[in-house]
Chain A
Amino acid sequence: MGKYRTTIGLEVHVQLKTHSKMFCGCGTDFGAPPNTHVCPVCLGYPGALPVMNRDAIRLTVISGLMLGCRINSYSKFDRKNYFYPDMPKNYQITQYDLPLCLGGSVEIEVGGRVRTIGITRIHLEEDVAKNLHYATWSGIDFNRAGVPLMEIVSEPDLESPEEASAYLLALRQILTYAGVSDCNLEEGNMRCDANCSLRPADRVELGTKVEIKNINTVKGVQGALEYEEIRQAEALDGGRTIVQETRRWDADLGITSSMRTKEDAHDYRYFPEPDLMPVALPAEQVAAWKAALPELPQARRERFVAQYGLPEYDARVLAAERAVADYFEAALRLIPGSPKAVSNWVMTDVLRVLSERTIDIGRFPIPADALAELIGLAEKRVINSNTARDVFALMLDEGGRAGDIVKTRGLAQVSDTAAIEKVVEQAIAENAKSAEDFRQGKAAALKFLVGQVMRLSKGKANPQMATEMLVARLGKG
């Protein structure tokens, strides 16, 4: 790829998390039987009129604020005219020249290199229906028609497929942080079109742009763009010119193929939507939304390091997802002295379970306060770390509070010197050979003896006290 420079811009479509559709009262939940969330408005019946869902505007503006955009105080909607079976009215209500948000940026990091990717604009539009094709006929499911869709258009600042996928991930992280969308790719919450061009490394002006549509996964973005880089490079190598066109990504075959060229591009005949009034956003309204914005992932990461003294790595893992970060901080609030312990538990035990069960933290069975209680018991040495992991497993499967489980099952650690001393005596007596080995300087023997103490105490002895006593009795350490 050294011969050419790649230029990529992404148009990301994000379904907003509103209760109802953009212009009618129909629900937005995914997976309902076809054509059950429909009404005269979202089916484009004669005489039906759209009415703006104010929450869709709010969520778009919040997204813009999270991404550092300027918010237009006066914005309007337009009709984009084209015929397609997934369009109930054969025009889409969108925003042409006065979108809600302008400017803004996203920071990405690829291979240790941090770059700022510009955002051109964010506008709000209605989603289309879903066409379903069968052997001899096709169907249209209008449940999705009219769901609010936010389109985030980036500047052509991305220089590689890796950067494109990093941008998409960063965007997804910020938007889920903002709570504006689930950004669930499987459910089609987030879809993407890419513009890609190549130019010789020594040239400044951009090459001919190719638009790639129908990319619905992060992997797809990278795959489609990698394919396109190779295709365009081969064409340039062969002395052929790149045709300005729209291509479709086929995820199964891993190729892009031509959909239409510039010649048969649509004339969308935009004009202002007469059924909707322009949107005026008073500065006080925007300021109020801005004041209530959640922290950005990057800011939270930095705060975790500064405020809790967590290692950079921990902060990055914990802050990656807002709900996980919220969970971490909710637990930490109850045992504020132990940030590293809470971090360890969340990073290793909690996240392991989430990935094993492929659930998100919202469905994790142990609430943050219950985990905090468990960690508190371990930190205060009421139970030792092995017992704590057993209690964690019990809480995971059967629920309950750590304190109750420890009490009813008699799992509290024994820290009574006399009691432990007795068991230490017994362990030395039963394992004279190991005791001798330790005296001879074999450090590993001590570990074995501690293990024996734990076995004899049914795991309840304070292992640190046992170790100290063994060393004291056997004279060396």
Chain B
Amino acid sequence: MSELHTLGVHEVLERLNRRECSSEDIVRDVLAAIGRIDGTIDGYLSVAAEDALAQARAADEARRQGAGGRLLGVPIAVKDVLNVRGQPCGCASRILQGYVSPYDATAVARLRAEGAVFLGRTNMDEFAMGSSTENSAFKVTRNPWNRNCVPGGSSGGSAAVVAADEAIAALGSDTGGSVRQPASFCGCVGLKPSYGRISRYGLTAFASSLDQIGPMTKSVRDAALLLQVMAGHDPHDSSCLPDPVPDYAAALVPDLKGMRLGLPREYFVGGSDPEVERAIRAAVEVCRGLGAEIVDVALPHTPYVIATYYVIATAEASANLARFDGVRYGTRAAGAEDPIDLYKRTREQGFGPEVKRRIILGTYVLSSGYHDAYYLRAQKVRTLIRRDFEQAFQSCDAIVAPVAPTPAYPIGEKGGDPLQMYLGDIFTVPVNLAGICGMSVPCGFTTRQMPVGLQILGPALGEGSILRVGHAYEQAGGWSHRRPPL
């Protein structure tokens, strides 16, 4: 049974339902895999082995007693940004060291209610700020396909542990591509739902108007199931949409007949690595073969998305991260003279350089005299970017595009140049700015055997469409099943 850890959510459920193994077997096998592999991947910040085994035994007992649960006994890894009761939630930051969450995020509570087992905490860029997981305060996660390369970020730990079969599935969060880009870099499926589709309650906020929780899985079908469980109205989050949750599994048909897929011309102007572009074009041809009509669409405000994103995201972050002050939880710096001194010392010692950079940037764009020129203008451009997509979805059902201009790059390559790093987000951030949904599905490899992801975008609440495209593509010629040599 040593291959249990390589299974996806649906395969695990099939084995559990056929009584071929217990949840405890699966968790033990995953823990063993973590023990063998994670020393070279560093995907986990902490593994709650005893806790996870106890949850697994409880799930097995529940199953014996005939209890249901759509995820009963399935172990899931959680990005360190989501609150799981009784586990640390440190956002890979020194400032939250020692903080143990007193509550479950709504998404976590819904997974728990369906019987999911929470394995441990995955590494990330500190407070989800970064695109390579190099900004973690504790460790650098390595790409399972090439350990000298980054796994992407900020949900790099979740992507890496799913790709390396150290988890059955994982949760990430996506503010500007943090689920999709690491999924692309590591060769797994990463879904960012529409803004408001999954409750943000319990997701430590980076940029409140952009953040979404998303599943990271070994197949599109698994992503659809996790979304099904987590999505839907939550009275604890005013931005969570009340719209009913459709049956996503029903959308997973094996062809794309009658679907129009848009190719944004601004995304194919030579800015991307040729190997990435080649993989995307090949995937587009597979979709055409499945019956999709390929149409040209325009997203004319693409040149402004990076600037707009980094103004809005940092402005919101500067307020969201103000609560980390050493007063109520987490790290408290010693030797403070007064409260303001306490804040300064705690935040100086507790935050890493990228977090500080973004707090300063966000504070600047909101300060009096600059507010209108930066924050207000960015909000206006955001509206134009949203209209771009509304316009584009007039003529197509989904958009296909690269996730990132490049495959995973060597660790340290972009660390010294934040702007270079930010530019890598060009294809992912507009999705968050527009509040629409997007998914990364493995679509091939470079000659150096690094994975490339196909980004599939849908309109707000169009998850059914992008899951259909992703699933049909995956079935017809996708690359989701390919595993790194470990």
Contact = CB atoms under 8 A, between A and B. Distances in A.
A267 interface: yes
Interface string B306-322: 00000000011011001
Interface of B: 82-83, 89, 91, 96, 99, 101-103, 105, 200-205, 207-209, 235-239, 315-316, 318-319, 322-323, 325, 327-329, 339-340, 343, 363, 366-368, 371, 375
Contacts, number: 99
B238 A277 contact: yes
A45 interface: yes
A260 to B, nearest CB: 13
Given A47-B205, A271-B375, A81 B319 contact: yes
Q: Which of A48, A267, A274 is the most central at the interface, judged by chain B CB atoms within 10 Å of its CB?
A: A274
A46 B208 contact: no
Contact of A45 (B102, B315, B319, B375): B102
A329 B83 CA distance: 56
Contact of B238 (A43, A47, A276): A276
A46 B368 contact: no
A81 B82 CA distance: 24
A202 B375 CA distance: 45
Given A47-B202, A50-B238, A277-B239, A81 B323 contact: no
A79 interface: yes
Contacts of B323: 44, 46, 88-90
B366 A271 contact: yes
A46 B83 contact: yes
B307 to A, nearest CB: 17
Interface in A7-37: none
A140 interface: yes
Interface of A: 40, 43-52, 79, 81, 83-85, 88-91, 140, 267, 269-271, 274-277
A91 B83 contact: no
Contacts of A50: 238
A79 B316 CA distance: 10
18 contacts: A47-B82, A47-B83, A49-B200, A51-B236, A51-B237, A83-B340, A89-B322, A89-B323, A90-B319, A90-B325, A140-B327, A267-B367, A267-B368, A271-B371, A274-B209, A274-B239, A275-B205, A275-B238
A83 B366 contact: no
Contacts of B238: 49-52, 275-277
Contacts of A49: 200-201, 236-238
Given A46-B83, A47-B205, A90-B325, 15 more contacts: A46-B204, A47-B203, A48-B103, A49-B201, A83-B322, A83-B340, A84-B339, A89-B319, A90-B319, A91-B322, A267-B368, A269-B319, A269-B371, A271-B316, A271-B371
Nearest to B199: A49
A48 B209 CA distance: 15
A51 B327 contact: no
Contacts of A274: 207-209, 239, 316
B201 A47 contact: yes
B290 to A, nearest CB: 39
B325 A51 contact: no
Given A81-B366, A269-B367, A275-B208, A51 B235 contact: yes
A85 B316 contact: no
Contact of A40 (B102, B203, B339): B102
A210 B221 CA distance: 65
B96 A90 contact: no
A49 B105 CA distance: 11
Contacts of B99: 46
A50 B238 CA distance: 8
A355 B205 CA distance: 53
Contacts of B201: 47-49
Identify the interface centre among A45, A52, A79: most chain B CB within 10 Å of its CB.
A45
A83 B327 CA distance: 11
A27 to B, nearest CB: 18
Contacts of A47: 82-83, 89, 101, 105, 200-205
Nearest to A38: B328
Contacts of A83: 322, 325, 339-340, 343
